[in-house]
Amino acid sequence: MKTEEADMVVVGGGTGGCFAAASAASEGLDVVLLERKSREEGGRIACGDAIKGAASLPDVVDRDYVADESFTNREVRRGIFEADDEKIEIPLPVTGKVMDRKRYGEVILEEAERAGAEVVYDTVARSVVQNGKVEGVRAIRKGEPVEYRAPMTVDAAGALSVLQDDADLSEATFDTNVKFTQFCSAYREIIEVDEPVDWSDALVFKPAEQLGYVWYFPRTPTEINVGLGFQMTEEPMKLVEALRRDVQNRDEFKNARVVNKLGAALPTRRPYDSAVAPGFMAVGDAAGHVNPTTGGGIPGAAKSGAWAAEVAADAVVEEDVSEDALWEYNQRVMHDFGKKFAATDLYNIFGTAHGVDELTDLVKAMPGQQLVDALGEGEVSMSLGLKIKTLVSTFGHWGLLRELNSVRKKAEEMKGHYAEYPSMDGFGTWKEERDTIMDDVYEITGASPKY
């Protein structure tokens, strides 16, 4: 078997992998990025395509170039939630963007190469090389076996990574409490329509048949990303058929043409408690770095990739790739977006304890801004008029609303707990205290334990 050596091997050419490779190469490491797709297909990933903007990405790539090349809709100013014949409109606090995900993927692969990383296409990682610590991966490149050895391996291979299945992580802090029920199955199509939609400045959502949602995100007024997903705790859905029925029932999609279609699994769970093991780190979807309620994962993957590379670069230089040497990466994640995602996960748990119809009726009854506040951060400040309007409109749902408010309080407590994510020495005690908060949430909602 052919063997190649580097300072770092990155598996996966998505957002997390590209930002890890670009960052590590910028730090002076010899980096190899393995991408299973061909160069022509590189960057094609199932995604909703929505993002806040280039400023949410680390500046290890040329963010202006990324935006200029891939952001096709820069004027997303509102959200629309559709339920039966009703529409709830909510203004977005920050103007959003919708991208051409294929072009975005191509650009960040280019940026990884520009930074000095070697991108190797047509290469499928199959297993890890491990001798106490992870020392690289075994792969198939264009049909031939090859082994890549490096003191650091970064797993950016996506949800339910095969590398984590193969590695022996039983003696590490690395989170192995991972189940398929903590994930979502999703499918999306890119469709073209004859006439511009009248909501090209909006992200449109509606409930799916199972716990999940259908989305319509306009790349342009006539090119729409349409998709749906469902939580794997629920009964399986025939995603292609369900999406097709929905598209055919919308007048604005008459004569729509499908130009691309893809499916994927993505985490709808809290971030991994620890995403490090000796010689091994996970980033992006491979570490649960996705908003558990929306599935949004690009900024989290980009940040985690960059942070992992920065910490790993120091570890490689110091010739110490132990968990303790890599622990700062866990802390960066948890003290930043990790605490928000862990708190948001509690709303996902709340949802699994209630039927879609019950949740939809509550959403329809609540004033739009109050709905945002209920799932937002900090204390809710309501005028007397809004309080009265909320009480009147939600009559018949007060029990569920009280439960939601109790979950919101626990979410604030959880966020505070993650903000105090400790050094490696305090990790065990921190987990025990976190699990006590989780027990409270299960008692409040009646949900089955997720972890």
Cα–Cα distances in angstroms (integers) from residue 448 to residues 252, 270, 294, 300, 442, in the given order: 40, 16, 21, 27, 7
Partners of residue 125 on adjacent β-strands: 139
- Among 120-129, 272-281, 394-403, where is mean pLDDT lowest? 394-403
Which element (helix H / strand E) includes 68? helix 63-70
Region 99-113: mean pLDDT is: 98
Do the Cβ atoms of 14 and 264 come closer than 8 Å?
no
Residue 440 CB partners (closer than 8 Å, separation 6+): 410
**Residue 270 corresponds to which amino acid?**
R
> Which has the closest alpha carbon to 23: 335, 286, 312?
312
Question: Which is more confident, 305 or 231?
Answer: 305
Region 11-23: mean pLDDT is: 98
> Which has the closest alpha carbon to 301: 41, 31, 23, 39?
23
Compute φ and ψ for 449, nearest 5 degrees. Answer: -55, 135
Q: Tokens for 27?
A: 């730090």
Give the residue ranges of DSSP H helices in 263-383: 298-317, 323-333, 339-352, 356-365, 368-374
* Percentage with pLDDT > 70 across the chain: 90
Q: Is 423 helix (H, G, I), strand (E, B) or coil?
A: coil
Which strands, in side-by-side order, build the sheet including 223-231?
50-51, 86-99, 71-83, 202-207, 213-220, 223-231, 183-192, 257-267
Question: What pLDDT digit, counting tens, does each position of 402-421 carry?
Answer: 888 899 999 999 999 999 99
Q: What is the DSSP string of 250-283?
A: -GGGTT-EEEEEEEEEEE-SPPPS--EETTEEE-
Compute φ and ψ for 268, nearest 5 degrees. Answer: -125, 65
pTM of the model: 0.91
The pLDDT of residue 17 is: 98
- Among 11-25, 73-87, 171-185, 294-308, where is mean pLDDT lowest? 73-87
The pLDDT of residue 7 is: 98
Assess whether pLDDT exceeds 90 at residue 105. yes
The pLDDT of residue 389 is: 43
> Which has the closest alpha carbon to 175: 269, 273, 322, 301?
273
The pLDDT of residue 356 is: 62
The pLDDT of residue 446 is: 96
Assess whether pLDDT exceeds 60 at residue 370. no
Question: What pLDDT digit, counting tens, does each position of 130-168 carry?
Answer: 999 999 999 999 999 999 999 999 999 999 899 999 999
The pLDDT of residue 43 is: 94
Top CATH class, 181-267? alpha beta
Instruction: Report residue 377's pLDDT band, with 50, 70 and 90 as the boundaries.
Output: very low
The pLDDT of residue 231 is: 82
Instruction: Report residue 210's pLDDT band, with 50, 70 and 90 as the boundaries.
Output: low
Alpha carbon 329 to its chain centroid, in Å, reads 18
The pLDDT of residue 450 is: 96
Q: What is the mean pLDDT of the chain?
A: 90
* Domain limits, the chain: 2-73+98-178+269-338, 181-267, 343-445
Cα–Cα distances in angstroms (integers) from residue 187 to residues 75, 261, 264, in the given order: 25, 8, 6
Let me know the angle formed at the C-alpha of 248 by 244 and 252, rounded to the nearest 5 degrees: 125
The CATH classification of domain 2-73+98-178+269-338, taken from the options 3.30.300.30, 3.40.50.300, 3.30.420.40, 3.50.50.60: 3.50.50.60
> Which has the closest alpha carbon to 8: 30, 40, 34, 35?
30
405/425 Cα distance (integer angstroms)? 34
Region 174-179: mean pLDDT is: 96
337/352 Cα distance (integer angstroms)? 23
The pLDDT of residue 394 is: 42
Assess whether pLDDT exceeds 90 at residue 367. no
Assess whether pLDDT exceeds 60 at residue 176. yes
403/409 Cα distance (integer angstroms)? 10
Question: Which is more confident, 360 or 125?
Answer: 125
Question: What pLDDT digit, counting tens, does each position of 384-402 carry?
Answer: 443 444 444 444 556 787 8
Question: What pLDDT digit, counting tens, does each position of 289-346 carry?
Answer: 999 988 889 999 999 999 999 999 999 999 999 999 999 999 999 999 999 999 999 9
The pLDDT of residue 83 is: 80
Do the Cβ atoms of 300 and 266 come closer than 8 Å?
no
**Residue listed under structure tokens 């006439």:** 195
Which element (helix H / strand E) includes 99? strand 86-99
Partners of residue 88 on adjacent β-strands: 81
Instruction: Report residue 172's pLDDT band, with 50, 70 and 90 as the boundaries.
Output: very high
The pLDDT of residue 445 is: 96
Question: Which is more confident, 386 or 125?
Answer: 125
